[in-house]
């Protein structure tokens, strides 16, 4: 497991006597990446110094909105120079703070504007600080960047759902701090399920905001595991999943190379091993995640080529620790029926529970009933039925088989029910879907019915 702390202040006085131990302790606790953040010229210079001595530490340079009034005009020019240093991967922290009110608003705005310019000129992302100023911050960002995606992170997010939606629309990443673990952090916990995986980051804000159970003590990067655990609990995924997702996001944001394997055939989420056999599909669903990229829970599953059965078995490795193995991926596994059955035979030989996620069009694709091929090999089939009628199905799923696809799917389900131990049809809870009508159809086919939430919790 690897964790990335995207916001700490290792140059602060709190770490004066034991900074090296703090860093060592973080690394020992799987925090393999840390961004130490400057808050004035002196602190930015120190951040670079700390980063230059440690391979795991990167620097951000900037003048914090609460410190602008203590700075000299030329400090900003110096920050601009420092921004080009090779250890610097981000600009900030900068933004607006209407809570502490140490610096006049006009001055904060002037400094913020300059940081946006530096970010635009260097291509390095912004580290955004905001207290009681979410809407004003978004407005200034939009005025500067237009509606283009913005390269940056809204650090220690505590603002409203509306501001979260605006930030996500601008493609800003969202930093979650220890506040998520505080008894009073309910508003942050409520927002956590609404942040799609690819925008989520961990943010210790050390030496401040120690998460539970370390509250009251000085915070340090090693403690971000407690934030990750809380997020995992809220989103119903594993700690490993959150570590992988957030570390990948941090590396992508700061343009750092990681050991992220591309084009994974086998990938783990919670206690399940997923297998991707193809990126081809007989559908072209409007909501398909392939339209926005091939990332799933921090895994890159855009296959470089379609794997053979031997390649899939080799990619699976030791399957002992998984509760089940599931054919899934961004594509329709039944299109590669021979590979699927060969791999399923191997999994059955190992005594594993095997699941298949499918669009239910395998029989139409192969022009024959494929249920006998799945019998004895697959324990559970999950079919995305998506809606209650053929024309709406075709409208949202754009199957290559046209409106016949829905009848084909229903026929597949009906034939699978007596042969496969569990057959489930799923639908996503969206306003335009007639959930009750879909339930009736599914029950008439003899399958189980499951409504999935549209919120991205895994």
Span interacting with ligand SF4, options 152-160, 199-207, 236-244, 327-335, rule CB under 6 A: 327-335
Q: Per rule CB under 6 A, is residue 218 in the interface with ligand SF4?
A: no
Task: Please tell me whether residue 283 binds ligand SF4 under the rule CB under 6 A.
Answer: yes
Q: Give the other-Cβ count within 10 Å of 180's Cβ.
A: 29
Of positions 210, 359, 405, 426, contacts ligand SF4 by CB under 6 A? 359
Q: Is 256 in the site for ligand SF4 (CB under 6 A)?
A: no
Nearer to ligand SF4, 57 or 266 (CB): 266
Closer residue to ligand SF4, CB minimum distance, 254 or 330: 330
Segment interacting with ligand SF4 (CB under 6 A) among 303-311, 329-337, 403-411, 420-428: 329-337
**Which CB sits closer to ligand SF4, 50 or 447?**
447
Under the criterion CB under 6 A, does residue 393 sit at the interface with ligand SF4? no
428 interacts with ligand SF4 by CB under 6 A: no
- Our finding on whether 360 is near ligand SF4 (CB under 6 A) is no
Instruction: Among 14, 212, 288, 337, indicate the residue that binds ligand SF4 (CB under 6 A).
Output: 288
Question: Does the footprint of ligand SF4 cover residue 142 (CB under 6 A)?
Answer: no
Residues 6+ away with beta carbon under 8 Å from 425:
382, 383, 384, 385, 413, 438, 442, 445, 447, 448, 449, 450
Q: Cβ 312 to ligand SF4, closest distance in Å?
A: 18
Smaller CB distance to ligand SF4: residue 256 or 288? 288
Please say which residue, 350 or 452, places its beta carbon nearer to ligand SF4. Answer: 452
Identified binder of ligand SF4 from the candidate list 55, 255, 284, 292, rule CB under 6 A: 284
User: Do residues 336 and 278 make contact, with C-beta atoms less than 8 angstroms apart?
Assistant: yes
Residues found near ligand SF4 in the complex (CB under 6 A):
281, 283-285, 288, 290, 330-332, 359, 397
């Amino acid at each position: 497991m690897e964790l990335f702390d995207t916001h700490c202040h290792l140059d602060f006085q709190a770490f004066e006597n034991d900074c090296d131990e703090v860093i060592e302790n973080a690394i020992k606790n799987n925090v393999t990446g840390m961004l130490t953040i400057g808050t004035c010229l002196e602190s930015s210079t120190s951040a670079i110094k700390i980063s230059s001595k440690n391979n795991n530490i990167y620097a951000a340079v900037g003048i914090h909105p609460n410190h602008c009034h203590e700075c000299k005009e030329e400090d900003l020019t110096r920050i601009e120079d420092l921004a080009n240093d090779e250890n610097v991967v981000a600009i900030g922290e900068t933004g607006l703070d209407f809570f502490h009110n140490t610096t006049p608003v006009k001055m904060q705005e002037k400094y913020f504007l300059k940081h946006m310019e530096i970010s635009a000129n260097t291509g390095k992302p912004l580290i955004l600080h905001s207290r009681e100023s979410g809407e004003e911050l978004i407005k200034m960002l939009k005025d500067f960047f237009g509606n283009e995606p913005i390269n940056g992170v809204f650090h220690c997010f505590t603002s409203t759902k509306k501001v979260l939606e605006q930030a996500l629309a601008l493609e800003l990443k969202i930093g979650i701090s220890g506040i998520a673990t505080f008894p009073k952090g309910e508003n942050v916990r409520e927002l956590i399920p609404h942040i799609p995986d690819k925008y989520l980051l961990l943010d210790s804000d050390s030496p401040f905001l120690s998460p539970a159970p370390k509250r009251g003590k000085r915070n340090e990067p090693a403690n971000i595991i407690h934030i990750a655990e809380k997020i995992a609990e809220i989103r119903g995924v594993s700690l490993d999943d959150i570590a992988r997702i957030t570390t990948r996001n941090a590396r992508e944001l700061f343009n750092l190379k990681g050991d992220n394997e591309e084009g994974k055939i086998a990938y783990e989420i919670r206690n399940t091993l997923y297998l991707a056999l193809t990126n081809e599909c007989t559908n072209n669903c409007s909501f398909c995640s392939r339209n926005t990229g091939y990332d799933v829970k921090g895994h890159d599953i855009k296959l470089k080529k379609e794997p053979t059965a031997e390649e899939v078995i080799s990619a699976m490795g030791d399957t002992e620790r998984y509760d089940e193995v599931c054919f899934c991926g961004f594509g329709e596994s039944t299109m590669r029926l021979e590979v699927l059955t060969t791999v399923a035979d191997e999994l059955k030989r190992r005594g594993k529970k095997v699941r298949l996620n499918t669009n239910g069009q395998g029989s139409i694709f192969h022009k024959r009933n494929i249920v006998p091929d799945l019998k004895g090999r697959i324990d559970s089939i999950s079919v995305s039925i998506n809606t209650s009628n053929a024309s709406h199905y075709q409208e949202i799923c754009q199957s290559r088989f046209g409106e016949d696809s829905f009848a084909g799917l229903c026929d597949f389900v009906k034939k699978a029910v007596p042969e496969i131990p569990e057959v489930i049809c799923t639908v996503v809870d969206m306003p335009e879907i007639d959930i009750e009508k879909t339930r009736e159809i599914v029950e008439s086919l003899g399958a189980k019915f499951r409504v999935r939430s549209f919120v991205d919790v895994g």
